[in-house]
Amino acid sequence: MSVPSPTIRVQAHDFDLQMEVNALTGGRTDIGAVVSFVGLCRGEQGKLSALELEHYPGMAETEMKRIADLAIERFSLTGATAIHRYGRIEPGQNIVLVIAAAPHRHAAFDGANFIMDFLKTSAPFWKKEHVADGTSGAWITAKDIDDKAKDKWR
Amino acid sequence: MKVNLIYFAWVRERIGKAEEEVELPESVVTVDDLLSHLKGLGEEYETALEFPDVIRVAINQEHVEHDEAISGAREIGIFPPMTGG
């Protein structure tokens, strides 16, 4: 069987989880497990009015594909999707979608987890907070915990 | 050599531009050299690159370490640690 090519998109508009799962699994009988992850914008108890997502066009897609290809190889995934939004995103709205498909559940869980851990620390995206009192807030600081999460896959 | 520099997030805001083409002296060999050279270009660069250890760099849209040589680079991205996902 040929190695599957992941679906990678960087877009301003929203995505539809069910539609993306259907696109990945439709017409196939080799998939026994699909794990999806959706990251949303938190309101931080009313303090946040929106996030501004900046990205490095071109490199963002390339890096997401590289990460998804690594996951496909490492966990023998039969399919993977990664979609990341950019621009202004308000509390409650979607930011990122990762789907991993495999014959069995462990590979699908691990694949989705792996893709997210690497996406957080290696894909060129940056979040800026806009706070509810109208002032432009600060750039979000990278967390050590995210680097540690990535290190567990070594 | 001539190279296109692209800045993102707070690096872009502090330098005050999103990209520029710069002519680099021959003494600039590695990413480290490049960051030191840029720091000397003015106060806004010095503020943006005050702590070079946290700055991330990509050559031709691929992550590189600071000891990497920049020869052959067409485009160098300079940015803070990533916070997507």
Any idea which of A41-50, A56-65, A107-116, B11-20 has the lowest mean pLDDT?
A41-50
More confident: B10 or A142: B10
CA distance B50 to chain A (A): 16
ipTM of the complex in this document = 0.95
Which tens digits make up the pLDDT trace of A31-83?
Answer: 999 999 999 999 988 889 999 999 999 999 999 999 999 999 999 999 999 99
Cα separation, A24 vs A26, whole angstroms: 6
Q: List Cα–Cα distances, A81 to A22, B42, B57, B63, in angstroms.
A: 11, 43, 26, 22
The verdict on B8 touching A (C-beta cutoff 8 Å) is yes
Residue entry with tokens 């520029």? B20
A106 assigned to some structural domain: yes
Cβ within 8 Å, pair A142-B9: no
Cβ within 8 Å, pair A124-B79: yes
- A 10 A CB-CB count for A44 gives 12
pLDDT surpassing 90 at residue B22: yes
Cα separation, A31 vs A26, whole angstroms: 10
User: Which pLDDT score, from 0 to 100, does residue A133 have?
Assistant: 80
pLDDT surpassing 70 at residue A1: no
Contacts of A83 in chain B (CB under 8 A): none
pLDDT surpassing 70 at residue A143: yes
Cβ within 8 Å, pair A54-B8: yes
Q: What are the residue boundaries of the structural domains of chain B, listed by start?
A: 2-72
In the CATH scheme, what is the code of domain B2-72?
Answer: 3.10.20.30
A2 assigned to some structural domain: no
- Which tokens sit at A105? 């559940």
If DSSP codes are grouped into helix, strand and coil, which group holds residue B33?
helix
The mean pLDDT of A79-93, rounded to a whole number, is 98
Q: Which amino acid is at B48?
A: A
Cβ within 8 Å, pair A59-B79: no
What is the total count of domains within chain A?
Answer: 1
pLDDT surpassing 90 at residue B40: yes
The verdict on B41 touching A (C-beta cutoff 8 Å) is no
The verdict on B77 touching A (C-beta cutoff 8 Å) is yes
User: Which pLDDT score, from 0 to 100, does residue A2 have?
Assistant: 78
Structural domain including A131 reads 7-151
Within 72-101 of A, beta carbons closer than 8 Å to B belong to 84, 95-96
| DSSP symbols for A79-114 | EEEEEEE-EEE-TTSEEEEEEEEESSHHHHHHHHHH
Q: What CATH number is associated with residue A26?
A: 3.90.1170.40
Residue entry with tokens 């851990």? A117
User: Which pLDDT score, from 0 to 100, does residue B71 have?
Assistant: 93
pLDDT surpassing 70 at residue B85: yes
